[in-house]
C-alpha cells in the first residue's frame, strides 16, 4: 500500500494517470482494508486528487478544501495515520465542494441543452439540415444522460 500512496502523492502532471490510480480496484481494496472501517476510502484518496490537481478544479491553495486535502494526503504519505479531526474537516469540505460542483455542472448542462434546442433547424430543406438536427438530437441525449448521472451522484453523497 505504501507504494500506491507514494504514486498518488507523486502524480502531479498526468490527470488521466491519476484517475487510473484512483480507480485501481486492487489498491483501493488495500486502502479499504487499512482504513475502511473508520474512513471512506474513496474520499480519503481523493485528497491526493485535490492536492495535486487543485488548479484543474479551480481550487486555490488558500481554500479550506485544498488545505484539508493536503493535510490528509501528507498524513497518509508520511505517517500512514489520519487523525479523525483532520479527516472530518476534509470530509466536510470535500462533500460541500462536491455538492456545489455537481449543482454547477448540472446548471451548465441545462444551459447547453437550451442552446442546443435553439440550434435546431425548424423546417429542414435538405439532407445536411436533417443531419444537423440529428446531430443536435444526439448531443441533447448525451446532455440528458450526463445530467441524469449527475443527479444520481448528487442524491447519493459519500457516506462517512
Domain parsing of the chain, residue ranges = 2-155
**Which of 113, 112, 130 is closest to 121 using CA atoms?**
130
pLDDT digits (tens, 9 = 90+) for 29-83: 999 998 877 789 999 999 999 999 999 999 999 999 999 999 999 999 997 778 8
What percent of the chain has pLDDT above 90?
Answer: 83
pTM of the model: 0.84
| CA dist., res. 95 & res. 83, Å (int) | 18
Please tell me the predicted confidence (pLDDT) of residue 64.
Answer: 97
Q: Which helix (H) or strand (E) holds 64?
A: helix 64-78
What Å distances lie between residue 128 and 9, 98, 124, 135, CA to CA?
Answer: 50, 41, 8, 10
What Å distances lie between residue 60 and 64, 106, 135, 156, CA to CA?
Answer: 9, 22, 38, 26
Please tell me the predicted confidence (pLDDT) of residue 100.
Answer: 94
Q: Which three cell numbers stand for residue 25?
A: 480496484
Q: Which three cell numbers stand for residue 73?
A: 494526503
| CA dist., res. 1 & res. 26, Å (int) | 10
pLDDT grade for 141, boundaries at 50, 70 and 90: very high
Amino acid at each position: 500500500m505504501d507504494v500506491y500512496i507514494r504514486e498518488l502523492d507523486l502524480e502531479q502532471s498526468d490527470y488521466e494517470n491519476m484517475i487510473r490510480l484512483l480507480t485501481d480496484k486492487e489498491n483501493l481494496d488495500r486502502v479499504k482494508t487499512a482504513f475502511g472501517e473508520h474512513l471512506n476510502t474513496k474520499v480519503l484518496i481523493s485528497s491526493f486528487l485535490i492536492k495535486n490537481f487543485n488548479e484543474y478544479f479551480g481550487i486555490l491553495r488558500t481554500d479550506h478544501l485544498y488545505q484539508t486535502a493536503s493535510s490528509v494526503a501528507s498524513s497518509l504519505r508520511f505517517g500512514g495515520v489520519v487523525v479523525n479531526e483532520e479527516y472530518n474537516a476534509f470530509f466536510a469540505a470535500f462533500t460541500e465542494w462536491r455538492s456545489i460542483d455537481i449543482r454547477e455542472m448540472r446548471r451548465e448542462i441545462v444551459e447547453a441543452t437550451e442552446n442546443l434546442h435553439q440550434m435546431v433547424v425548424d423546417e429542414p430543406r435538405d439532407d445536411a439540415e436533417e443531419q444537423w438536427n440529428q446531430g443536435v438530437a444526439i448531443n441533447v441525449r448525451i446532455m440528458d444522460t450526463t445530467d441524469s448521472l449527475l443527479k444520481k451522484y448528487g442524491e447519493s453523497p459519500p457516506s462517512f
